[in-house]
Amino acid sequence: MRFAFRKVFVYRLVSSDDNKTEEYERVRDIYGAVFPIKAEDLMMSEGNPAEMYKLFADDYSDIQATDKIEYEGEIYIVSKLRKYKGRALERIEAIVIKPNN
């Protein structure tokens, strides 16, 4: 699946200097891929599967829930994370939501 990995821009909410507002700030670039959600992921998604996707990224990726990602010009919000470790395969899977606005 790594052949499908593209650059993903990760944005994180950070407080302003006066702690009155929060804004998304670009924190890093990673490599990953976003795919439509599958039926077996519906239990984890707890939402409308038409607006949900799955992000696959390398294990070392620093991604958190509520982060915003940009993948191929589209914006998604990270909802839930799962981390897998195998013998030679380590990856993060995240349910991401495509906002309506």
The listed range with the strongest mean pLDDT (14-23, 29-38, 41-50, 81-90) is: 29-38
Start-to-end CA span in the chain (Å): 30
Q: For residue range 26-74, what is the model confidence (pLDDT) as tens digits?
A: 999 999 999 988 766 666 556 666 688 999 988 777 788 999 999 999 9
- Which pLDDT score is estimated for 62? 79
Using DSSP bridges, classify how beta strands 52-58 and 6-15 pair: parallel, antiparallel or unpaired.
Answer: unpaired
Q: Which residues have a Cβ under 8 Å from the Cβ of 59 and sit 6 or more positions away?
A: 83, 84, 85, 90, 91, 92
Q: Is the pLDDT of residue 1 over 60?
A: no
Q: What percent of the chain has pLDDT over 70?
A: 83
Read out DSSP for 6-60?
EEEEEEEEEE-TTSS-EEEEEEEEEEEEEEEPPGGGHHHH-S-GGGEEEEEEETT
- Domains in the chain, number: 1
Neighbours of 41 (CB within 10 A): 17
Give the three-class secondary structure for 2. helix
Give me the domain span that covers residue 20: 2-97
Domain at 55, CATH number? 2.40.10.270
**Residues constituting the chain:** 101
